Structure 1
Amino acid sequence: MSTSDTAPLWSLTAAELVAGYRTGAFSPTAVMDAVFDRLDAVNPGLNAVIAVDREGATLAALDSTLRWENGAPLSVLDGVPISIKDNLYLAGLPATWGSRLHRDFVPDHDEPAVARLRAAGALLFGKTNVPEFTVQGYTGNLVFGTTFNPHARGMTPGGSTGGGAAAVAAGIGPLAIGTDAGGSIRRPAAHCGLFALKPSIGHVTRYDGFPQLLADFEVVGAIGRSAADLDSVREVLETFDPADPRTLATAAPARPFPAEPRIAFMPAIGANPVDPRIAAASRRIAAALAETGARVETIEAPFDADRVTAAWTAIMQAGLAWHLSKFEGWQALVNPSARALAEQGAARTAGELLDALAAAAEVRSAAGLFFRDYDLLLCPATAALAWPADTIFPPEIDGREVGPRGHAVFTGWMNVTGLPAVTVPVAMTDAQGGIGLQLVAGHGRDRDLLDFLATSPALRPFAPASLANPD
């Protein structure tokens, strides 16, 4: 079934679906059937969705159809198919975290963010693939194998929300819910030509699931094809939860940006290399924003990148070591890279962890002062284009050797500081996927950030993001 303009139902954005439900042009039942047909057609070649609840999603779609027929939808996401990352609890489907240690685990409850989506009438149809323990920038594991970028044959969709990004880019649901601890939502969105939101710390409640290895650096966010769709997710998930006092941050009032916002443009971080095509796209968008009235100033990084990376790495390694220490014989079950990270974490001292927490606190204070002088920060979402899917990270960028986080230098600061950040898809390459830029705002300005993304004349042309055709 298709809309009157012949667009397949699986190809519509969440906003377009809701508009169709409202007018009676089609139903959530028809849409869910179309998304399942699309999944069956393209997922075997992508390996994006690794578990499916056909019966549950079909019944939920029928309930949603009846609500729309009665003019009583539960929310702006009622009847919208949404996939869930495999490190989040979705009752009745496996939650493996990409690891053989958890391959047989099936939670009997939704964790809070997922529960809110279900209560809002969203159709939670499946789980998406991740790297083991979601601590790396590609998507592959020993349980389900490798996920591929639908825009770039044989290339990675990035990670760790690579399965979710690949699903949305291929039309397997218009939205994917994931987590972002160091860029895990924003970079896959960039590689797959999509929009993404990493919320401020405290804007989406997080507990009652897998342990948070990176403490409050990791937040629940979304990948979609427009700022409007991301804002619908924000509207549902952004709420106070008495079980999570961090969510008091949701009480922050909206403060729209001025007509001529002050934008700090950070095209590079020190001497770290950036792919020339990404650098050129960054300069082009900075110029376009200036032409539409923004006051754009090119800056150096407003933080010590080495210190931020060291703090992030210390917390991640220690968190992974702590989790794995609970499992006898874990060394033989996890992949070599996860084992190496955990062994490095086990060697960390209490002093190193306290140094990391102190660095995070100082960086957060400095970020607050930075956003007294600027409204927004613009920078690339990734330093590298997509690389071969079975490779954990690209060993070179622009002809220069880089380490495991060389491609990810632009994203970790936002996690350590807790700032909201969005990815905007601004270009697509022939063979290495998309190019995405980041916009970052002061803490708590999630709604303002999405409003700017939706209304800026320089950015509006990029929505809705185009779908891939991996058939």
Structure 2
Amino acid sequence: MTKPLYALGVQELNAAYASRELSPVEVTRAVNERIAACEPQLRATWLFRPEAALELARASEARWRAGTPRGTLDGVPVTIKENLATEGDPMPLGTAAYELVPVTYDSPPAARLKADGTVMVAKTTMPDLGMLSSGLSSFHDLSRNPWDTSRTPGGSSAGAGAAAAAGYGPLHVGTDIGGSLRLPASWCGIFTLKPSFGRIPLSSPYMGRCAGPMTRTVADAALMMASVAQPDDRDYSELPPPVIDWNAFEVDPSFLKGKRVALHMDAGCGLPLDPQIAQAVRDAAKRIEAAGAHVEEIPAFMTPQMLQGMDHFWRMRSCLDMQAMSAEQRAKILPYIREWAESAAGFSGAHVFDGYSQFVATRAATVAATKAYDFVISPVSPNMPAPAGHASPTNDPMRPLEHIGFTVPYNMSEQPAASVNCGYSTEGLPIGLQVAGRRFDDLGVLQFSRAFEQIRDAQKLWPEPI
């Protein structure tokens, strides 16, 4: 193998295990060593347990030797975001406010990955209550971006984004309610798919919330989807069992020919678009058009009122959560989060109802603006990654969501949306292209992204944050 063992993808590992060229134990040991080497800089993991991972790898090795692997993912290293329950492990949700009480069940994504024989090497970090686009936490050490450790990896899937970019194995699971998969994917230069709402069941479903794969390639994400996009009756919002051949992600650039593609460059709210991001996305659009797609620019469909309404509703939700805590617990939450949530204490019922109504307005506007197109391409974020210690790009709790105008619409409309790297800034930082599809067309978004992988510029080498 010319690549380091920790950098091998699922298909490469599966072939090497089948031929006995490699063992899951060798690969897990390499991933453990990679994590140990990078963690002093990145702080992307929690519950990193090398020996427990090796025990899982030995069990996988025995299955491969007996000719009874559980499938494509058997023996493949994986990390799981801290807010996705794993039996026997505490789930602090990124904050020091909660007691470390082991949970008694596996979340659906964790249960599926365990059943398929993956090797869980660690949980990954998140900010307090998952409410920041950064790796800042009152419980975890500050997570950093492998491309530039002075920058944030994004969030709330902070550790997962950093882990994927740094080579902590091929598979990582994160979650997203307004951009928490796609923002760190963009800022860390990896691939992610926020699937259609309900595609990956959750044990605690919530409006707009999705789990999804965070990987270096579309291929690895598609193969993870084959595992985690399976029914689980704990999720009242789950979609019917999918009749999807996830292996059909593999297409060539001719897939783009004739596709109707909207180019969305104005979020209609939030921070101004960084010129370097605008240029990278427009260059990507030109490549997609040259491959035979019909590309048409569309106007903004989000408004500041929509963004503010969602923000204020989420503030009230968190305010009520904090009011249920003791004063001692509340004091342990990041001051930024406390100030943000407590600002809702004086909101009237009418104000909160108007905030809730903006979720519906956002959904209606997103569907209306995109229904004439097969796919929509846009920036993921209007800004490059902020300093690592900032809670959000503005670092202002009264303007906390100014960077999610491109991502949050697809959480509310329940449409699948991906981030795939499309270029780099003059400082060498990655820039993500968002690819959104029609609701339920998760496979189409993977196929579009795979076609784009083949026509984009050559990618920089992955970072070495050691």
TM-score between the two structures when normalised by the length of structure 2: 0.91
Asked if the contact 2:277/2:425 (under 8 Å) is kept, the reply is no
Shift of 1:367: 3.4
Matched letter for residue 40 of structure 1: A
Asked if the contact 2:93/2:130 (under 8 Å) is kept, the reply is yes
User: 2-side partners of 1:315 and 1:462: how far apart?
Assistant: 43
Deviates more, 1:409-418 or 1:318-327: 318-327
Shift of 1:224: 0.4
Asked if the contact 1:265/1:378 (under 8 Å) is kept, the reply is yes
What count of residue pairs does the alignment treat as equivalent?
Answer: 455
Computed over aligned residues only, the root mean square deviation of the Cα atoms, in angstroms, reads: 2.4
Query: Deviations along 1:357-396, whole A, 9 cap, x unmatched?
Result: 4332343344344443100010001111122100123349
User: CA separation of 1:321/1:25 partners in 2, compared to 1, >3 Å: closer, same or farther?
Assistant: same
Asked if the contact 1:182/1:217 (under 8 Å) is kept, the reply is yes
User: CA separation of 1:27/1:460 partners in 2, compared to 1, >3 Å: closer, same or farther?
Assistant: farther
Tell me which residue corresponds to 2:122.
126
Alignment map for 1:47-58 (pairs within 5 Å): 47-58=43-54
Identity %: 30
User: 2-side partners of 1:310 and 1:206: how far apart?
Assistant: 27
Query: Deviations along 1:169-219, whole A, 9 cap, x unmatched?
Result: 1111212111101111101111111001111111011125xxx6xx32111
User: 1-side partners of 2:121 and 2:454: how far apart?
Assistant: 35
Q: Which of 63, 66, 71 in structure 2 is aligned with 1:67? A: 63
User: 1-side partners of 2:215 and 2:222: how far apart?
Assistant: 10
Tell me which residue corresponds to 1:399.
none
Deviates more, 1:164-173 or 1:425-434: 425-434
Query: Deviations along 1:79-133, whole A, 9 cap, x unmatched?
Result: 1111111222122333221111125233232112211111111111111111111
Q: Does structure 1 residue 228 correspond to structure 2 residue 219?
A: yes
Tell me which residue corresponds to 1:40.
36
Q: Does structure 1 residue 280 correspond to structure 2 residue 279?
A: yes
User: 1-side partners of 2:439 and 2:380: how far apart?
Assistant: 18
Shift of 1:432: 6.3
Tell me which residue corresponds to 2:25.
29
Matched letter for residue 225 of structure 2: R
User: 1-side partners of 2:71 and 2:443: how far apart?
Assistant: 17
Shift of 1:466: 4.2
Asked if the contact 2:213/2:224 (under 8 Å) is kept, the reply is yes
Tell me which residue corresponds to 2:72.
76
SS of equivalent to 1:148: coil
Q: Does structure 1 residue 310 correspond to structure 2 residue 308?
A: yes
Shift of 1:153: 3.0
Tell me which residue corresponds to 1:182.
178
Unaligned 5+ segments in structure 2 are 250-254
Matched letter for residue 339 of structure 1: R
User: CA separation of 1:69/1:451 partners in 2, compared to 1, >3 Å: closer, same or farther?
Assistant: farther
User: 2-side partners of 1:267 and 1:122: how far apart?
Assistant: 39
Deviates more, 1:102-111 or 1:33-42: 102-111
Tell me which residue corresponds to 1:216.
207
TM-score between the two structures when normalised by the length of structure 1: 0.90
User: CA separation of 1:395/1:456 partners in 2, compared to 1, >3 Å: closer, same or farther?
Assistant: closer
Deviates more, 1:251-260 or 1:411-420: 251-260
Shift of 1:461: 5.9
Asked if the contact 2:136/2:390 (under 8 Å) is kept, the reply is no
User: 2-side partners of 1:462 and 1:84: how far apart?
Assistant: 29
Q: Which of 102, 107, 111 in structure 2 is aligned with 1:115? A: 111
Q: Which of 141, 149, 152 in structure 2 is aligned with 1:153? A: 149
SS of equivalent to 2:167: coil
Alignment map for 1:4-403 (pairs within 5 Å): 5=2, 7-102=3-98, 104-207=100-203, 215-251=206-242, 259-270=257-268, 272-301=271-300, 303-329=301-327, 330-395=329-394, 403=399
